[in-house]
Amino acid sequence: MKSKFITIPEVFDVLSKKKEHDPTEAENLGYCEAFLKMKGKDAKKAVADLVKDFKFPEKVAVKLVDLVPKSKEEITSIVSGYSIMLSEKDLNSLVSYFTGE
């Protein structure tokens, strides 16, 4: 079985389509609702964009999409946990990507 990283919006989409939830699924659905910052299809596209344009590993792209950082400091804090250093240009590009500016 192959594992794959998916975003919170994608988990929300999967769980919200189910008619009945066991207690763990219900708890996870509540968590997803609380932290949902975009639609599932938008999140999937954003992960693909980050992997393609910035050469991020999929798990880093998923984390960035889940958190939707709005500043260079937030981005640096997230990617440094994966031992990734970004140029000022890349940081500015990512801020623009997530803020829509």
Question: What CATH number does residue 62 fall under?
Answer: 1.20.1250.40
Range of the domain at 9: 1-101
Cα 72–Cα 75–Cα 77 angle in degrees, nearest 5: 110
- CA pair distance 99, 21, nearest whole angstrom: 34
In the structure, what pLDDT confidence band is assigned to residue 5 with cuts at 50, 70 and 90?
Answer: very high
In the structure, what pLDDT confidence band is assigned to residue 1 with cuts at 50, 70 and 90?
Answer: confident
Phi, psi of 83 (to 5 degrees): 60, 40
**Tens of pLDDT along 73-84?**
999 999 999 999
What global pTM score does this model have? Answer: 0.90
Q: How many CB atoms lie within 10 A of CB 15?
A: 17
The answer to whether the beta carbons of residues 40 and 9 sit under 8 Å apart is yes
What do you get for the CA distance between the two ends of the chain, in Å? 40
Count of domains observed in the chain? 1
